[in-house]
Amino acid sequence: MSKKYLLNSALALFSFIVTLCLVELACLAINRASGESIPFFYNKTLVLRTERGHNQLHSLDSLLGYTYAKDDASKEHLTIPFVFQDGFVIFTEPPQNGQINFASLPRPIIVTLGGSTTESFRWETSWPQELATLLRKEGFPGTVVNGGIGGYSSNQELLKSLRDVLEINPDIVIAFHGVNELAWVKYPYPLVSKYMRNILETMVNNARSSTFLPNTYFFLSRVGKKQKTSVTEISHGVPNPHAPVEVFLRNDEKMRTLYAHVGIHYVSILQPFALTGTYAEALKQSHPDFVKEIVAENQELKVMYGELLELKTHTPFAMLDYTDIFSAFNPTVEQIFLDRCHVTPKANQFLAKQIFNEIRQHLEDIAKNKRPPT
């Protein structure tokens, strides 16, 4: 093969690529003039990604956006018997047929809700797992059903309460929340998870464009009046005008009212955050670099927590305030926080003990058949 032939082939290929780019550029200008904003040459938004921008997907949830898959390998560290079903980790012996009937679970049933600080998947242990262990140790019957999923905020908790928790019909519901009300929520549509928004936007983008030469494809589709599908826009309902703090408090009040209506004992906990409380003040002295990094990444969350704690001083505050729960620990001796909110196994055991003490009287009342039938 001659050098001249190779040179001509290279020039032809180069000319073809330049022509494609020029056509794409011209279509980009036309589309922009029509009010369409489509990336040049390569449309990476068509690739479905997780909340953090990763390509791998969780199991999709038609209402909540995502959950975990049944075969998630990260559940291997769970040290007590469990079944994962329908978005919940149920701490009980697996049935022979592999499917749990919630109505047949030993009572009292305690459902826990929250984000990654509650879930039973990615961390060495969790406070719901420790709570299940503590119930057995203290001689109480019952079942802990953990509905915590990383990234869930009070918005997903509210939806999960309506769809799932009422069907389980527990005796107690414990929501452990606070830190996910900003980063994992997109306003003014907080009830629509960011992940579900990404899925819907990907569907619309796929209908209107292509991964490569997206502007050219869109322009030619308009000229030819050809679309892959009729999906062209998304509705998220009525926008929510409230600030994040108010959305959080309103969600909590809705859950409290919902559970009170059906006779379920509801416990809401404002979870600890590494920048609040006595332990946090001591942490600034013992681990200044650690605190500095958290402050840099969580300024808005720190402000939100400040607003919540300020409200607590002069208005009725129905949540249990756990922002100072680790005050007895000395950070110079033992580091509790692994990051802004996740804590060590010992701290999870401590949380489980505190939460157990909060519900112990109710557990004793249930044992005496004081809970009205539902």
Domain boundaries, the chain: 3-52+193-224, 68-188+240-367
Reported as a single tens digit per residue, the pLDDT across 119-146 is: 988 788 899 999 999 999 999 999 999 9
The letter for the amino acid at 354 is Q
Taken as a whole, the chain contains a residue count of: 374
Continuous H helices in the chain: 3-33, 127-137, 154-160, 166-168, 194-208, 214-224, 244-261, 278-286, 288-297, 299-314, 345-367
CA distance 200 to 196: 6
Rounded to a whole number, what is the distance in angstroms from the first to the last CA of the chain? 85
Q: What percent of the chain has pLDDT over 90?
A: 50
pLDDT at 191: 92
pLDDT at 373: 45
Residue 337 DSSP symbol: B
The letter for the amino acid at 261 is H
pLDDT at 32: 85
pLDDT at 216: 83
Q: How many CA atoms lie within 13 A of 111 on its CB side?
A: 23
CB 60 within 8 A of CB 69: no
Nearest to 350 by CA among 131, 35, 41, 110: 131
pTM greater than the 0.85 cutoff: no
pLDDT at 231: 67
pLDDT at 50: 52
Using 50 as the pLDDT threshold, list the residues of the chain that sit under it. Answer: 55-56, 372-374
With residue 336 as reference, give the H or E element that holds it: none
Reported as a single tens digit per residue, the pLDDT across 27-47 is: 889 888 887 777 787 776 655
Q: Which CATH superfamily is domain 68-188+240-367 in?
A: SGNH hydrolase (3.40.50.1110)
